[in-house]
Amino acid sequence: MPRRLPLPFAILLGSALLPAAPAPAAAPAPAAAPAPATTPAAATGRIRLVVEHAVGSPPAAIIGMQIVVRGIVAPYVAGERVKVSFYRDGRKVQVRTVGLTPIGKGAGQFHLGFSSARAGLLQARAVHYATPAQAQFSGRSQTVRFASPNVSSGARGPAVRVLQSELNALHYVVPLDGLFDEATARAVIAYRKVAGLELVLFRLLARGAGSFHVRFRGDGRHVEADLSRQVLAEIEPRGRVLAIFTMSSGKPSTPTVVGHFRVYSKTPGVNAEGMVDSNYFIAGYAIHGYPEVPNYAASHGCLRVPIPNAASIFSWVRTGTPVDVYHEAGGGSHRINVHAGP
């Protein structure tokens, strides 16, 4: 009788002898999900605000004068806008929204004018609110002191600094210390002679009026004496005005000779007639300092200038420097007076 195998071995042998069942087919891999669309990040930005047409440091302006705030934004993104608010003494007084214009190198800019009707400390503040194209950013300008135009001798402060700076820009000889002293008063007198005594000083300065008109550009480095306005100017080559001074020329009974001359002699110091630092341009006619320099023609033919200005004029004028003396209304004299003096 054949020997029977234990059941476990029979099962094992039986399974080994039977053909293997086919392996189940592998399940297909799931399709990859599409990547979500990405939104471009908004550009970061920065802004710088620059105050123009204010004068001095710290900057100042006169009530009624217009300053300009220039905003520079980087990077420039087309279509973006900036809100600009003007604050006077911490209180918002005006709000404007402006677009930008490209200026190259990836930047854009805007310009805004502002004029204050009241005195106070002004500041511009700008903000760009976030958009899909550009993130939020902001900036502030320097503060500008708007001051009253009512200034007089002895005054000190921002209004005087503005006055001095504007006169200096037009080449009137004036200090820049913010004090309305005698030198500032002399510059104002010279300015009023050129611009017109009847007109308001600060309004004229704001318009750029009162510049000296050079008549003899071809004379190179020379002096011009305008008898009609009673001012004397030092002119550099190519007609550039260097300095303007108030002066007093010959009175009607002893008029200053008109024409084209050259300095032929220079005498430093004070002479017996009280003339200071004299520059003779023909016979006894000279440009010199003198104690009395009124707003009108009062000399005996010479061109009087204030004594504080005499030294600088004497230093600038050389022997041989051309001197052009003229009167727009035909005044003065073409005859040389041998007795001309201070």
Longest Cα separation, the chain:
174
Distance of CA 130 to the CA centre of its chain: 33
Q: What is the pLDDT of residues 226-249, one digit of tens each?
A: 998 899 999 999 999 999 999 999
Q: What is the pLDDT of residues 258-285, one digit of tens each?
A: 999 999 999 999 999 999 999 999 999 9
Closest CA to 51 of 139, 136, 127, 171: 139
Helix axes 182-195, 158-169, angle to 10 degrees: 50
d(C-alpha 14, C-alpha 262), whole Å:
139
DSSP-derived secondary structure for 128-176: E---SSB--EEEEPPPEEEE-S---TT-BSHHHHHHHHHHHHTTB----
Q: What percent of the chain has pLDDT over 70?
A: 82
pLDDT at 143: 93
| 293, HSE (Cβ side, Cα atoms, 13 Å) | 30
Q: What is the pLDDT of residues 113-168, one digit of tens each?
A: 998 888 889 999 999 999 999 999 999 999 998 887 777 667 788 888 888 888 88
In one letter, which amino acid is 48?
R
93 touches 87 (CB < 8 A): yes
Closest CA to 269 of 321, 232, 314: 314
